[in-house]
């Protein structure tokens, strides 16, 4: 792994495959480090002829932390989420989209296929909206539009968001992380406890920074409704969503696809809000499909 200076901050990143090939840029979700993109998924994309880049979003992992911004008022954030109001935030999802493009700039990559999961899907949407000339295609996974009329997370999944880890409590954070992934994970593709503990321990020991997650949550809520902007997109897009997602209900994926002209919707039975190894090829197939459509559209120009 390595670091670049991008959009005025330091961003930790890792790349896979031959840089001469088209790049797939992976953008991870709320409070999740780039390591949550399974290496197996990255390698599957490389085997299909892609150069893959994953990175830590700002305020998480080994990228720049915004300590001076302090801890946001979580009660105000969740109150705004339920009421449709916009809380104050230390930075915006648009800033985070600029970070993603900044990574491409720092690596000398002009265009990329943009893939995002959950909050990363929102950021990926904003990359396509704000930086259309850099976006070859868009893959939005387990994400949504910011439409306030959509169903909210199930209570047990919402509780996962509202009970953050305690900074410095490594073992407690590992237990909390394992419990959280069991709540929001894919019922048809369960990850065994040994693998789950390995993944969660890896990430907790790499970086435990719950205040960054809170600030990212504020940025999500403050971003609001993206539907009007999504309706103006002119890019090949695919939306992947789990039918059993308790954190971002499947209606979020359906709404995303309905508001991006020509977008393909892939609803996956038994998929929750995670990246089980049993779905690696499902995700990679979606990326390959939208890349093929993107290439076809370009050839037809």
Where do the domains of the chain lie? Answer: 2-300
Mean pLDDT of 187-197: 97
Question: 152-163, pLDDT tens digit by residue?
Answer: 999 999 888 777
**Angle of CA points 202, 166, 252, to nearest 5°:** 75
Question: 113-147, pLDDT tens digit by residue?
Answer: 999 999 999 999 999 999 999 999 999 999 999 99
Question: Is pLDDT of 73 > 90?
Answer: no
Q: Does residue 31 contact residue 60 with C-beta atoms inside 8 Å?
A: yes
Q: Does residue 45 contact residue 284 with C-beta atoms inside 8 Å?
A: yes
- pLDDT band at 297; cut points 50, 70, 90: confident
Mean pLDDT of 240-265: 98
pLDDT at residue number 87: 72
Q: What is the CATH architecture assignment of 2-300?
A: 3-Layer(aba) Sandwich (3.40)
Q: Does residue 130 contact residue 38 with C-beta atoms inside 8 Å?
A: no
Indicate the average pLDDT of the chain.
Answer: 94
Instruction: List the one residue out of 166, 170, 147, 141 whose CA is nearest residue 38.
Output: 141
Q: Does residue 103 contact residue 25 with C-beta atoms inside 8 Å?
A: yes
pTM for the predicted model, two decimal places: 0.95
Question: 19-63, pLDDT tens digit by residue?
Answer: 999 999 999 999 999 999 999 999 999 999 999 999 999 999 999
Measure the CA–CA gap between 144 and 245, rounded to whole angstroms: 12
**Residue 21 in tokens:** 């090939």
Percent of the chain's residues with pLDDT above 90: 84
């Amino acid at each position: 792994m390595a670091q670049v200076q991008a959009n005025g901050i330091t961003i930790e990143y890792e790349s896979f495959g031959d840089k001469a090939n088209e790049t797939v840029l992976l953008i991870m979700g709320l409070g999740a480090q780039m390591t949550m993109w399974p290496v197996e998924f990255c390698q599957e994309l490389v085997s299909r002829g892609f150069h893959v880049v994953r990175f830590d979003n700002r305020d998480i992992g080994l990228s720049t932390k915004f300590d001076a911004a302090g801890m946001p008022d979580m009660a105000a954030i969740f109150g705004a989420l339920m009421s449709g109001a916009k809380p104050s935030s230390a930075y915006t999802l648009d800033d985070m989209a600029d970070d993603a493009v900044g990574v491409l700039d720092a690596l000398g990559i002009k265009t990329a296929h943009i893939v995002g999961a959950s909050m990363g899907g929102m950021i990926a949407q904003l990359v396509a909206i704000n930086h259309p000339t850099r976006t070859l295609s868009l893959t939005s996974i387990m994400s949504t539009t910011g439409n306030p009329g959509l169903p909210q997370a199930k209570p047990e999944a919402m509780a996962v968001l509202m009970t953050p880890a305690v900074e410095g409590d490594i073992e407690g954070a590992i237990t909390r992380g394992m419990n959280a992934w069991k709540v929001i994970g894919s019922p048809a593709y369960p990850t065994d406890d040994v693998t789950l503990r390995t993944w969660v321990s890896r990430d907790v020991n790499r970086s435990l920074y719950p205040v960054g997650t809170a600030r990212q949550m504020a940025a999500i809520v403050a971003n609001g409704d993206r539907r009007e902007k999504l309706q103006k997109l002119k890019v090949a897009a695919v939306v992947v969503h789990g039918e059993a997602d308790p954190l971002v209900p499947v209606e979020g994926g359906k709404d995303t696809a309905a508001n991006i002209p020509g977008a393909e919707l892939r609803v996956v039975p038994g998929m929750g809000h995670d990246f089980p190894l049993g779905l690696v090829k499902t995700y990679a197939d979606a990326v390959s499909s939208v890349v093929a459509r993107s290439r076809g559209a370009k050839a037809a120009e």
